[in-house]
Amino acid sequence: MKQDKAVLVFSGGQDSTTCLYWALETFKEVIAVTFDYGQRHHLELECAKAICQELGVEHHVLDMSLLNQLAPNALTRDEIKIELGEEGQLPSTFVPGRNLLFLSFAGVLAKVKGAKHIITGVCETDFSGYPDCRDVFIKSLNVTLNLSMDDDFVIHTPLMWLNKAQTWELADKLGKFEYIREKTLTCYNGIIGDGCGECPACVLRRRGLESYLTTKGEI
């Protein structure tokens, strides 16, 4: 695969930055694409831009404001509180159609750029109830993209079966543990690195980090 070109869906967060390093080791050329859907924290886009610039990765930011127009959610509107879903309900951070649209547009970009591979950091293990992070959805979309463009794309999901601790372990194996810990943004309150420590994204990230460091014997 080292000869091939890949398009990566990139948010500047822990997961997709780990995927970016994985992709750089796996493919000859990586093109990153970030979607602007009116995130409350514009810093997310700045963070993604800065990382790509630093690593010399071709980066595209595509306007997806229609997503916020159609489906306002806790990630784009201040007045919507971030809440974990009750049993059987989706959390308020769920954006319907997000991965369907992002991956479809990444597919279009891959077609235009002559890339066979598409990479996304979705994960079924800690999927917070998001249906579009499941393996079955990705496999189904892969078939659909191939049929729609008469191509043979391969969607890669390096994190699909990892828990958060194992994602940190992967970052460490790639030699990028510190970089990812310090320079990525996962926090819903827009605080880079270890974040605010209180929002659901920070809690999940910290739990994984602590569990990984415990396994390593560092705490």
**Which residue of 202, 208, 209, 212 would you call a contact of Zn ion, by CB under 5 A?**
202
Piece of 77-85, 125-133, 160-168, 198-206 that binds Zn ion (CB under 5 A):
198-206
Strands (E), 105-160: 117-119, 154-156
- As a whole number of angstroms, the distance between CA 60 and CA 48 comes to 10
For residue 33, the tally of other CB atoms under 10 A from its CB is 23
Least distance (Å) between residue 110 CB and Zn ion: 32
Residues 6+ apart with CB under 8 A from 74: 80, 81, 82, 83, 91, 92, 93, 188
For residue 58, the tally of other CB atoms under 10 A from its CB is 12
User: Structure tokens of 98?
Assistant: 């997000």
Q: Kindly state the helix (H) or strand (E) to which residue 90 belongs, with its residue range.
A: none
**Which residue of 107, 158, 195, 208 would you call a contact of Zn ion, by CB under 5 A?**
195
Considering the complex, state which of residue 41 and residue 116 has its C-beta at the smaller distance from Zn ion: 41
Q: Lay out the sheet containing 117-119: strands in order across.
A: 58-63, 29-36, 5-9, 117-119, 154-156
**Which residue of 111, 189, 200, 204 would you call a contact of Zn ion, by CB under 5 A?**
189
Q: Does 84 bind Zn ion (CB under 5 A)?
A: no
Q: How many residues bind Zn ion (CB under 5 A)?
A: 6
Piece of 5-13, 53-61, 77-85, 191-199 that binds Zn ion (CB under 5 A):
191-199
Going residue by residue from 149 to 188, which x/- string records binding to Zn ion, judged by CB under 5 A? --------------------------------------x-
Binding-site ranges for Zn ion (CB under 5 A) = 187, 189, 195-196, 199, 202
Binding-site residue numbers for ATP are 10-20
